[in-house]
Structure 1
């Protein structure tokens, strides 16, 4: 056989092998797609995915923009021609066909909003009721049945989900009720988040109230004592006092940076040293890389104030406070240690549990806020005993994309 013929045969064989490899890879890829799940599993995935996306839009409760985006996902779940979401005042969102029925919806939903019972209106009856509710005579091509299910947040009906279809079978009735219950759960989660925010704001106000009477009175007295003897020092202290109170009583934001909180602490300690003199000694060891870490507003200053008021003020002679902040993997770790009088661990546990009122409300509020924001594993860690001083450790995540300082 000539060399050219052998070459052609070899070339054909190589091409055939290449085609066989491509076919084999293609079959494997197709098989891997089939292995993603059965039809039922894929349907479950699509349902969960749609619910997850809708839930993101309802994170702030029943708002017009959130309801409009969520309604697209929810209509797909029900397979209805149209889906509407209302609150108690009006229609928030309408997705799909037969929007000619929109003006009549609140009239149709009035009984559901009043008694919290699902209503099913057949197509022929809907024509009559919609016309009587203000839509006039509807053309035949918009004839639909509607299922109207209440959105209940606790014992309150806060809106309805209305699903429109050519006929309202038992499956659509049950599915619409389930979707309304799911929307209600998102509303309750949004209300819970809002309540938690209000609680945090109330706790910050409590901390500010704690600062104001005791610290402000003593600081003004200390400033007054320098007016005649050292007016320059008095003016400097007035400026520091103004900066401290401006920061402490600011009205914006639930979070700040570690650097800002340390500046506040520096002003606080400057004013306290004006009163106590050399009795208050402070050392700081701060790693620069954690200065930009976001922390809850007024979470460190109350801990330092606790060290001064309850650790050193009751102690004879000078006292020392050591403040450290360093990188600890995914966390920034801050410690505040004093060599003051300490306290009984049982009393401390009672204070942190909220079972005892008293002068340590700052510790309890900071601990509660840290647990609310970062979870129960991230509260304050406090080591203390009578006559042994106190060591407080606070750990916060370095990455907090949802929190802005």
Structure 2
């Protein structure tokens, strides 16, 4: 090889090494959290609203200096609101992108990845997972920021008992979120002295729900609609076209803007649901709501869980700041940055300042206090909601009756 070729070869090797060092430095200067949620499909409205809220949190974290000096990047995977999408999205986020935590998960996906999250040492944060199975299965690498469907089902039954003494249900089969909440509702409704008269099961493949609605309404005009969003919209559209008269109780999966706008007011005051409620006067909520409105042009909805999506990112970042910036480090410190015995903080910057001063902290965010129990669950406050002029609005706060559990 000529001296000139040797020089060129040596120079190329040096540049390659330098580029490798630059890439490594860039990798170390960025911390990645995954957002694995339905940006399309049944959970699309929640995923899109939630991503906006999560990005507000990421912007806040980076404005405060990032996580121990590293920039936070949110890597988004659309699971298309399917179990298969959750599994494939997880593989891309964890195995290809190298995220150290995953937020935004829904119930079925979280359950499917329960063991995988522990094996990978990557925390899953559920802003709105309702499945009662996480009441005892979470707390290792899965945490959630809302109460379970076992609470929601009880409160829905309380609301129903206050309006009538009989009820039935239309349930979409094959989904943990729908079947479990119908079971809780039925048990609590009967325990409160009500008559549960019928549970009509439907499939997502059903073309027309006319026969199913006739069967259900003939048993009781007061119906729990326990379906996914797409099925729920088609079913409620059929209900309105046939001008059925009764009261509808809606599970969280169908408390969306599309449902609020159905029928040009037909469902106003006749369809009711349950959603977490927040302290709208708290400084944390006001600060978040102002930034959310500026980013999206809308106020946070009573039904979209935006404060939970925001708080999940702040919590994960504080946990990473408190120890090793790894999935294991986040897992080990989540309880420490949200426990009731620490110094109360209301923002990421406040939390970092107290952590650097060597103090334990108790983050209280836009969604309120976040005190995880041994299974990674929190206690939520709830509100009865109903459509009014095309928007879901709060009717009143509801305190769960433990006698109906």
For normalisation by structure 2, the TM-score amounts to 0.26
For normalisation by structure 1, the TM-score amounts to 0.26
Greater Rg, structure 1 or structure 2?
1
Larger relative helix fraction: 1
